[in-house]
A and B are shown apart, each in its own frame.
Chain A
Amino acid sequence: MHEDNRTARVSATARSVVLATVALGCIALQYPSRPGYSALAAVAWLAASAVFDRAILARMWQPRFLAVSAALAALSGLLLGAPDARLAGVAVSRAGVEAGVVMILRGILIVGIGAWIARWLLARASFARSATGSRVSSAAAAAFDLVPELRSRIQAVRAARSVTGARTPVSLEQAAISLVCQTAWIAEGLWRQSPTAARPGEGEHA
């Protein structure tokens, strides 16, 4: 069992090393900004992802990003450079189309490498949490507990403003002051629950 875990860890490290090397190679291939090199880089990354970490491929499927990229590429064919070719009956410039293709391929590659880095970081998040010490994690844990509470208070303030019809800047300001005071009150409550707290009333509001 222990041996199995070690083998799995080693193979995960080996996969990360291979993917990091491929990522660096692909980034280097992007530099000449030529469609052929960019296509080679994108294909190499897709292949490496398919072999070593298929979850990256799922994360790369972002229809909105792909639609925006396609629109930008089409625009660059239409707007950049003098028209010197026809594509589906529309006058386009070769240089513009090439620039658009490079742009899309570069975008796909960066999104793919970004997806891998995000997965890599998330896998190490638990390690980072223990390494950064207890204070940040305690504060974050306390904050997690408070979010639903504060969220409901924000919604209550919003609801109170719409019921009373008081949508003037003055009432917005009063609502904001109320929220800040409540949050400071919660902070004082949090602190006074802790063993390091001083006597009540020693909190700073100066």
Chain B
Amino acid sequence: MDIEAAERPPLNAHLSQFWAYAAAFGSLWGAVEVTAGSFLHALRIPFAGVLLASLGAALLVAERQVFDRRGLTLVTGIVAASCKSLSPAGIIWNPMIAIVIEALLAEAAMLLTSRSRLSAAAAGLLSAGWAVTQGLLSQYLLYGWTVFTLYITVVGKTATWLGFERRTGWLALLVVLALFLGVGAASGLWGLRIGRLSRERLKGRADA
């Protein structure tokens, strides 16, 4: 599908350019959350939140390449979170809070510049990192520190049962965490590339 094929939907809202971009990209993120999110959760893919956060970060970084304004990333997240309430399951606070905080972290990462590889990778890494952190934080709030003592014991005993040293379990956990953060950073960089190529295409069209 090409951009020529994209018809302008009938809209009545009166928005400035900043808010128009926030609305359009926020709804794209919301639509991705509703479609890809439902798909990933239906397949019961573990750590689907990390994948969705990485996808969201790529979208936010790409958005800032097309229209670069400070604060746009955060506002886009707020709009996307409100769109998430359209999900078939109704208002679900956890993902809505996650979307807003991920957008806030991506905004912070792109505060100085949104056009560098470092800030794009940081935006993705922080978003994916939050997806993991929020899960742990909500478990702490629900069950207290005991649940972590339990997890630590399970990791240690599993390593022992498998015939490894206890610290091998920790190493495995660290590798998984590094993998998540790596996926996030790679998504941020991919978003930078997509955004740059999209900007070129839009510019070419405007010049024509």
Contact = CB atoms under 8 A, between A and B. Distances in A.
Interface of A: 33, 69, 72, 75-76, 79-80, 99-100, 102-103, 106-107, 110-111, 114, 118, 122, 135-136, 138-147, 149-151, 153-157, 160, 173, 176-191, 193-197, 201, 203-206
A103 B143 contact: yes
Given A72-B143, A187-B67, 14 more contacts: A99-B146, A143-B23, A143-B27, A143-B80, A144-B83, A144-B86, A147-B30, A173-B197, A176-B58, A183-B24, A190-B15, A194-B15, A196-B16, A203-B206
Contact of B13 (A156, A176, A194): A194
Contact of A147 (B8, B27, B93, B199): B27
Task: Tell me what chain B mostly uses at the interface: helix, strand, loop, or mixed.
Answer: helix
B32 A145 contact: no
Contacts of B9: 145-146, 149, 186, 189
A38 to B, nearest CB: 10
Interface residues of B, number: 65
Contacts of A190: 11, 13, 15, 20, 23-24
A144 B27 contact: yes
A176 B91 CA distance: 28
Interface in B1-37: 1-3, 6, 8-9, 11-17, 19-28, 30-32, 34-35
Contact of B206 (A122, A144, A201): A201
Given A80-B153, A118-B93, A173 B23 contact: no
A186 B17 CA distance: 11
Which A-B residue pairs are the 7 nearest by beta carbons?
A: A187-B24, A143-B27, A146-B27, A191-B20, A189-B8, A190-B20, A142-B13
Contacts of B82: 140, 143-144
Contacts of A107: 142-143
Contact of A75 (B21, B75, B154): B154
Nearest to B62: A180
Interface in B143-181: 143-144, 146-147, 149-150, 153-154, 157
B146 A191 contact: no
B43 interface: no
A65 B17 CA distance: 43
Contact of B202 (A136, A197, A205): A205
B195 interface: yes
A194 B16 CA distance: 7
A185 B6 contact: yes
A205 B23 contact: no
A145 B34 CA distance: 14
